[in-house]
Chain A
Amino acid sequence: MGERIAIIGVGETEFRSRNVEASHVDLVNLAVKRALENAQLTIKDIDTVITGQMELFEGLYLPDMWLVEGTGAYLKSGMRIQTGGTTGTSVATTAFCHAASGEFKTVLAVAYEKQDEGSSEAALRSISEDTFYDIGAGGKSAAPAMAELAMDMLERGAVTEEQIAALRVNESECASRNPYAHLNRKVTLDEVLHSRLLIPPLRLMHICPTSVGACAMILAPESVAKKICPNPAWVVDWVTVHAAMTPILGHQGIYLTHGPLGPLWGWAVEKSAVSLYKRNGITNPRKEVDVVEMYNMSTWHEAEWYERIHLCERNESGKLIEKGIVFLDGELPVNPSGGVVSTNAIGASAMLRVAEAAIQVRGEGDRRQVDGVETALAVGAGGDTYSAAVLLRKHL
């Protein structure tokens, strides 16, 4: 690894289901402006710009070109990153590499999605056809995947529907404290348990929404960060894993609950998190990490990933919820931002994990702030079966 690096600025837009007042450029520009304000820099101080969003969702070709006024990338270096749902974390980790390279004094990372302008579902179903499956059998829709996983969790007794509902209630409590969250209304246990059944046992309230919004972060190497930032979030380490595999078949395979490797989303998450722990001497993540931000595309996934990132033993995730350990006031709060089930502007979702973890480490969480955060873990994941785990610390 090159130089040690830090996150010195974070900016988010308010996430909503629609934003007809802002174009792509306006939206991205707002997040960039807020990140620059947060870092007390101007766009002139930025050396390189990394951008990312899900391709095709808005029908926008070469988005990095159209966005240039919004990102401030004119005549600066940089690149565009796309790794499916993981895009945001991949943008962040690419920015980390740039900052650590010693070539740049500051790096701006921008990720966004404007899902009100097209149909994500239509884009997924009609454009992302693959050669093998033409039957539409679960290949392009995440919901059957989530249902498969949920059914497996129930069958092996890892969680109950009541526990999952309690988790959703906690997420909504967290989201109500986050001024940027999309679904920020507090919901009740009863509402979740009786929300519309989609694919048993999956209900509408278990699933993430489609949101509009942007997130930006500013990175700097240690030599710069120490000079210009009184309160940096140090990026200690990060690990990216790509776990797609053809028998278990690219994006079809991620849904496989009973396959040789288990569900591949989770498999990638486990590989990246465990490797991160090993590299950083973490033996008991539940004690050694103070807060986790993870990509919970459904509340069922969040519960499964407690097992995957070794917060508990297999089939024990229900107990973590039952005891309130992962709640906002618990021993190890998970997703104090409200998580992806509250806010899901897909391209930005995975970067929000890192950004919100940085906010926690820097103590800027306001009403969603967890007390005494020294170490934070952020995990991004997505349908491409990339996963990236990032470890942040308050002190080097």
Chain B
Amino acid sequence: MSLRLGDTIGHDWIEKSESESFRLAKLKAESEARHFEKAARNGLLAVTSVVNLPFRESAGIYLTKFFAAIRDEGEIIANKCPACKRIVLPPRIVCGFCKIKIEDEPENWLTLNDTGTVLSCAVNVEREVDYATYRLIGQAFPIAFIRMDGGDQYSILVHFLKETDPGKLRAGMRVKAVWKPREQRRGRMSDILYFETIGGDR
């Protein structure tokens, strides 16, 4: 299944077709059900409970700015520790190394480029299955650690790569963010679809 611009990926992206992983998950669930049924025949019961809880998390001042920049400007912003000068991505209120507050002042904020260099990546051969819902979840795309341009050694994002051919994946490859259209962006990391390969590998 190919991904088109505008599709959401990750948690929202559910493949409906029956794949190998899907069948395996179903088999596992059925075998578990049989196990409990067998126990029930011996007079031992299992009580089924299903939990469905929606959560809403506050992003706080710093991450709100970060996500607003993603949604409204298509920009990745970070803040900087006034003491050790390192770049904090995602922006946080405190530098964990120096243990001091990073004030919400303009001089402590900066904009990174949406290009970067892949440090390493992992390719899932099979997509993972959520055994609670039998939905295929996880990544159809390679996961990569990407060091963003305009930052320092600490400004690293984890995201997907568009390139799925394992033979073409390597540390040092140069990539650029592919953004969803403005009207579809919600202020989340998934506003970036994935990173596509650009030339000039390092």
Chain A stretch 246-278: residues in CB contact (< 8 A) with chain B: 246-249, 252, 255-260
Min CB gap B90→A, angstroms: 5
Q: Mark B19-36, 1 if CB is under 8 A from A, else 0.
A: 000000000000010011
Residue A137 is within 8 A (CB to CB) of chain B in the complex: yes
Given contacts A131-B59, A247-B89, contact A138 B130 (CB under 8 A): no
Interface residue count on the B side (C-beta < 8 Å) = 57
> B139: which of A20, A138, A252 is its contact (CB, 8 Å)?
A138
Given contacts A135-B160, A136-B11, contact A129 B55 (CB under 8 A): yes
* Contact B125–A252 (Cβ < 8 Å): no
- What residues on A are CB-neighbors of B96 within 8 Å? 245-247
Chain B stretch 133-153: residues in CB contact (< 8 A) with chain A: 133, 137-139, 143, 145, 153
Q: Which residue of B lies closest to A18 (CB)?
A: B35
* Contact A144–B154 (Cβ < 8 Å): no
> Bound complex: CA of A119 vs CA of B132, how far in Å?
7
Stretch in A74-82, A174-182, A193-201, A358-366 with 4+ CB within 8 Å of B: A193-201
Q: Which residue of A lies closest to B119 (CB)?
A: A258
> A135: which of B10, B124, B125, B156 is its contact (CB, 8 Å)?
B10
Min CB gap B45→A, angstroms: 9
- What residues on A are CB-neighbors of B1 within 8 Å? none
Given contacts A134-B190, A246-B96, A248-B156, contact A141 B10 (CB under 8 A): no
Min CB gap A50→B, angstroms: 27
Given contacts A135-B190, A138-B143, A151-B122, contact A246 B158 (CB under 8 A): no
* Contact B125–A132 (Cβ < 8 Å): no
Q: Which residue of A lies closest to B66 (CB)?
A: A132
Stretch in A89-97, A120-128, A225-233 with 4+ CB within 8 Å of B: A120-128
- What residues on B are CB-neighbors of A137 within 8 Å? 10, 139, 143, 158-160, 189
Q: Which residue of A lies closest to B193 (CB)?
A: A135
Residue A161 is within 8 A (CB to CB) of chain B in the complex: no
Q: Which residue of B lies closest to A59 (CB)?
A: B51
- What residues on A are CB-neighbors of B108 within 8 Å? none
* Contact B44–A21 (Cβ < 8 Å): yes
- What residues on A are CB-neighbors of B36 within 8 Å? 20
Min CB gap B71→A, angstroms: 13
Min CB gap B121→A, angstroms: 8
* Contact B131–A122 (Cβ < 8 Å): yes
A122, A132, A139 interface centre (most CB from chain B within 10 Å): A132
- What residues on A are CB-neighbors of B128 within 8 Å? 121, 141, 143
- What residues on B are CB-neighbors of A47 within 8 Å? none
Min CB gap A225→B, angstroms: 39
Min CB gap B44→A, angstroms: 6
Min CB gap A342→B, angstroms: 21
Q: Which residue of B lies closest to A134 (CB)?
A: B188
> A133: which of B59, B87, B189 is its contact (CB, 8 Å)?
B189
> Bound complex: CA of A151 vs CA of B153, how far in Å?
21
* Contact A139–B11 (Cβ < 8 Å): no
Q: Mark B46-82, 1 if CB is under 8 A from A, else 0.
A: 1001010101011110010000000000000000000
* Contact A200–B125 (Cβ < 8 Å): yes
> Bound complex: CA of A248 vs CA of B58, how far in Å?
21
Given contacts A132-B90, A247-B87, contact A148 B122 (CB under 8 A): yes
> Bound complex: CA of A151 vs CA of B88, how far in Å?
27
- What residues on B are CB-neighbors of A255 within 8 Å? 145, 158
Q: Can you add 5 more A-B contacts, CB < 8 Å, to A131-B58, A246-B88?
A: A144-B139, A148-B145, A247-B155, A248-B154, A259-B153
User: Can you list 22 pairs linking A and B with CB atoms under 8 Å apart?
Assistant: A59-B49, A116-B32, A121-B128, A122-B131, A126-B130, A126-B132, A129-B57, A132-B90, A134-B11, A134-B190, A136-B10, A137-B143, A137-B159, A138-B139, A147-B122, A151-B122, A197-B125, A198-B125, A245-B96, A247-B88, A259-B145, A259-B156
Interface residues of B (CB under 8 A from A): 9-11, 32, 35-36, 39, 44, 46, 49, 51, 53, 55, 57-60, 63, 86-90, 92, 96-97, 119-126, 128-133, 137-139, 143, 145, 153-156, 158-160, 166, 171, 188-190
Interface residues of A (CB under 8 A from B): 18, 20-21, 59, 116, 119, 121-122, 125-127, 129-139, 141, 143-144, 147-148, 151-152, 197-200, 245-249, 252, 255-260
Q: Give the 9 A-B CB pairs with smallest separation, nearest first.
A: A122-B132, A136-B10, A247-B154, A135-B10, A258-B119, A144-B122, A119-B131, A20-B39, A147-B122
